[in-house]
Amino acid sequence: MHKRLYRTVERLLGTIDDSAGGEAMLRDVLQLLVHNPAAEALGIVAGRLYREQKQDYCLIESVGGLGEALAGKTVSKDYQVVRDIERRRLWVISPQSPGFDPAVEAQFGDTDSAAILVGRDPNYILSLSIRHHASEEDLLVLLETIRAAVGLKLRMQALASQMRQARSIQHSLLPGCLPKPPGFELAAISVPADEVGGDVYDAQEVEPGTVGFLLADASGHGLPAALQARDVVVGMRMGQARGEKINATVARLNRVINQGGLASRFISLFYGELESTGSLVYVNGGHCPPLLASADGQVRELMTCGPVLGPLPEAVYKRGYVTLEPGDMLLVYTDGVTERLDPQAPGGEDDLHEFGRDRLVALLRECRGGD
């Protein structure tokens, strides 16, 4: 019975829009608990939502009972019933409750059967008038079920909000438009596997006639990877501003990442500076070797010049050199491309194949001469 009860509450909360703010979500919860046909089995006939203030709780939503006429009424934090709700986080209210004051309760209409404390900074009290509960134990189970489900929903909403903010921060690091050096075309795209990801790119004019560009790939996914990728972009931009040699900048950045103390975290990086003459000087820190397709269809790799950033504080990074000729195409990519699995594989999940380097090379040859 208790599992079915939790599933009922969870199903109700699942219909609420996660993008709403915490208070808006709690208002929706109250409406659902009182008015949704699926909630009839819970026996809830009225409800009120109170927001914490300095000295009291203010009623901000009333459903059923006396309705909206109650909005704005307050109840003091010194009231014994409120203190018990704050202390226990759920409380069954009756005339026999310690400190029960009929005068206080009368202003809200019918006596609340129960209340739960949810949220934090500020706290909210969700008070409910409930009928047909067989025993106080069943009522407590109902309250704890609602409290746990609402608490989980609030935490998930807060996490989703943080992830949206992290994605916004990460997108703000990507260049709004790419440089357009005479005689060259640049293009870039980033598609995160999760809300935020560990792949990041950048392209900036470091001096007249020279464009610096990078592609980095932090291990893992999600917020930790995104934060590490952000640090790489910021670190490289600082090195560009100081006019340092690119291998010295990458080595310093490697030491900073290592000193972060996350031994399980690392990041691969390709950084290059392209001059108007076509000369490209680059450093590759453990990244997928970029593919250089020449006008005659030959494809070769720009090989690694050092290990991934993070694990080895004293790693040495050497510069590589190549000259781009008219008609050449350089592709810098992450393993999110080559390790992409084919969801349409004929053998189902047991026969999934990676996109692979060979198919990427073939695709690059196809694109030669295009924009």
pTM higher than 0.75, yes or no?
A: no
Class of residue 348 by CB neighbours under 10 A (exposed 0-12, middle 13-18, buried 19+): exposed
pLDDT tens for 234-249 read 889 888 888 889 999 9
Higher pLDDT, 5 or 123: 123
Residues 111-150 as b or e (16 or more Cβ within 10 Å = b): ebbbbbbbbeeebbbbbbbbeebeeeebbebbbbbbbbbb
- Euclidean distance between CA atoms 144 and 115, whole angstroms: 10
pLDDT (tens digit, 9 = 90+) per residue, 241-275?
888 899 999 999 999 888 876 545 789 999 999 99
With pLDDT > 90 as the criterion, what percentage of the chain qualifies? 38
Q: What confidence tier does 201 reach under pLDDT thresholds 50, 70, 90?
A: very high
Q: Average of pLDDT values for 272-293?
A: 96
What is the pLDDT confidence band of residue 1, given thresholds at 50, 70 and 90? very low
Residue with tokens 């195409």: 329
